């Protein structure tokens, strides 16, 4: 048995969205699913017990960050990432490809890999497909990602074509270098920007190789939403039905629903946790900036329609006070609520797929959230 398998349960008659299950060495989860981001082996401000309480099943962590600090050898010595951070659910690690491009200075791409400077110490480093596999094998994540190039938006067709071809060659090297296919699954990443021909080429190359699942990369990099939806419209049908599909870096409520409708099973994004630390909450009626003065005497919950621990026990006025005072507990409360909100949203999406009414659910949700307003 491969480490990671995908089981398609049904598709929504109204939208074509998929209800499925992903089986991993650290449990099974239903899809479509949202994965909270724990870049440095912690979902910022949340304990693993809280993640479990909010019903998170899989979290994401980063090869690049853990390689630089504390070093994958230390994580391996601890018994792997699950033991190191005391999280017994599933873990997906991104390969470092994206982080090298978004965080480091002075990067230089070659056929062998990427030269760059450590964004913390300034030290010169080199990351390659082989190195990214070795690090992820040491971390012991359930799902590893291939080492890819995620070009910025917009990129020219000619640049993107070269990049897609290099990403395919790197993908082949990742499969060869992956040492533990029996206990860790490796996903390939389809690139190609907004160009249909290149998405086709990338999907053709990668699906001819034996990956455990496929990601759509290179989206949510500054392009308009309708371009993302258009790219998904022509890309997800190129991916095999019997493997999981993961849209990288997407986490706004509307994009989660629109991605699921286009056949995506897995999503991750720093959005809910990042905006939480800045005093912004996702609610059923849209974004709420709880820092605002108008909430100083508002003794109601963050979201009237939310049954999370925070909404059952704390008020907007109290949370505003904590955040204005830079109190850690305030950030914990907004983070918990935001993650709960997205996990619950995906549960509602799965329920709607079961009942063939995701199209209706989308309409209602968009109306209430305020996406339909001009």
Binding site for Zn ion (CB under 5 A): 306, 308, 310-311, 337
- The interface region with ligand GUN, picked from 21-29, 62-70, 89-97, 123-131 by CB under 6 A, is 89-97
Restricting to residues 197-236, name those near ligand GUN by CB under 6 A.
217-218
212/143 Cα distance (integer angstroms): 9
List 94, 258, 265, 303, catalytic entry = 94
Residue closer to Zn ion by CB (options 170, 369) is 369
Q: Does 38 bind ligand GUN (CB under 6 A)?
A: no
Instruction: Give bridge partners of residue 95 from the DSSP assignment.
Output: none
Of the candidate residues 95, 167, 202, 273, the single one contacting ligand GUN (CB under 6 A): 95
Please give the structure tokens belonging to residue 74. Answer: 């230390």
129/282 Cα distance (integer angstroms): 37
Give CA torsion, residues 114, 115, 118, 121, to 10 deg: 170
Restricting to residues 145-184, name those near ligand GUN by CB under 6 A.
145, 148, 150
- The interface region with ligand GUN, picked from 21-29, 91-99, 257-265, 355-363 by CB under 6 A, is 91-99
Q: Is 118 exposed, middle or buried (0-12, 13-18, 19+ CB in 10 A)?
A: middle
Could you tell me if 184 and 141 are in contact, meaning their C-beta atoms sit under 8 angstroms apart? yes
Report, in Å, the least distance between residue 88 CB and ligand GUN.
25
Please give the structure tokens belonging to residue 15. Answer: 């939208």
Please count the other Cβ atoms lying within 10 Å of the Cβ belonging to residue 370.
Answer: 10
Residue closer to ligand GUN by CB (options 132, 352) is 132
Q: Does 66 bind ligand GUN (CB under 6 A)?
A: no
Residue closer to ligand GUN by CB (options 218, 330) is 218
Is 241 one of the catalytic residues? no
Of the candidate residues 30, 72, 94, 303, the single one contacting ligand GUN (CB under 6 A): 94
Distances (CA, A) of 216 to 102, 243, 298: 17, 13, 42
List 148, 258, 265, 268, catalytic entry = 268
Which of 27, 31, 26, 23 lies closest to 4 in space, CA to CA?
Answer: 23
Cis, bond preceding 225 (omega within 30 deg of 0): no
Restricting to residues 133-152, name those near ligand GUN by CB under 6 A.
145, 148, 150
Could you tell me if 178 and 150 are in contact, meaning their C-beta atoms sit under 8 angstroms apart? no
Closest CB to ligand GUN: residue number: 217
Which residues are near ligand GUN by CB under 6 A? 94-95, 97-98, 145, 148, 150, 189, 217-218, 248-249
């Amino acid at each position: 048995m491969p480490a990671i398998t995908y089981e398609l349960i049904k598709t929504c008659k109204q939208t074509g969205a998929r209800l499925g299950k992903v089986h991993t060495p650290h449990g099974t989860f239903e899809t479509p699913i949202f994965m909270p981001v724990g870049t440095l082996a912690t979902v910022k401000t949340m304990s693993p017990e809280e993640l479990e309480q909010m019903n998170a099943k899989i979290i994401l962590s980063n090869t690049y960050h853990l390689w630089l600090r504390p070093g994958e050898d230390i994580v391996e010595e601890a018994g792997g990432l699950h033991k190191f951070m005391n999280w017994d659910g599933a873990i997906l690690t991104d390969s470092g490809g994206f982080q090298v491009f978004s965080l480091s200075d002075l990067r230089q791409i070659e056929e062998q890999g990427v030269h760059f400077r450590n964004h913390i110490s300034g030290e010169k480093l080199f990351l390659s497909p082989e190195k990214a596999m070795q690090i992820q094998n040491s971390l012991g994540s359930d799902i590893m990602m291939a080492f890819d190039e995620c070009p910025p938006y917009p990129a020219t067709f000619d640049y993107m074509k070269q990049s897609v071809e290099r990403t395919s060659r790197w993908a082949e090297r990742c499969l060869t270098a992956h040492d533990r296919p029996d206990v860790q699954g490796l996903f390939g990443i389809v690139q190609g920007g907004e160009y249909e021909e290149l998405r086709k080429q990338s999907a053709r190359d990668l699906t001819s190789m034996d990956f455990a699942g496929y990601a759509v990369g290179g989206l949510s990099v500054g392009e308009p939403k309708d371009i993302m939806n258009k790219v998904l419209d022509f890309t997800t049908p190129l991916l095999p039905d019997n493997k999981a599909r993961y849209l990288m870096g997407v986490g706004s409520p509307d994009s989660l629903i629109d991605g699921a409708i286009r056949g995506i099973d897995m999503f991750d994004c720093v959005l809910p946790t990042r905006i939480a630390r800045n005093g912004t909450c996702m609610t059923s009626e849209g974004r709420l900036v709880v820092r605002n003065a108008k909430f100083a005497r508002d003794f109601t919950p963050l979201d009237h329609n939310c049954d999370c621990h925070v909404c059952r026990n704390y008020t907007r006025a109290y949370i505003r006070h904590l955040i204005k005072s830079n109190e850690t507990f305030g950030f914990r409360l907004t983070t918990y609520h935001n993650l709960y909100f997205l996990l619950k949203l995906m549960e509602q999406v799965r329920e709607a797929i079961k009942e063939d009414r995701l199209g209706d659910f989308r309409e209602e949700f968009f109306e209430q959230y305020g996406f339909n307003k001009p």
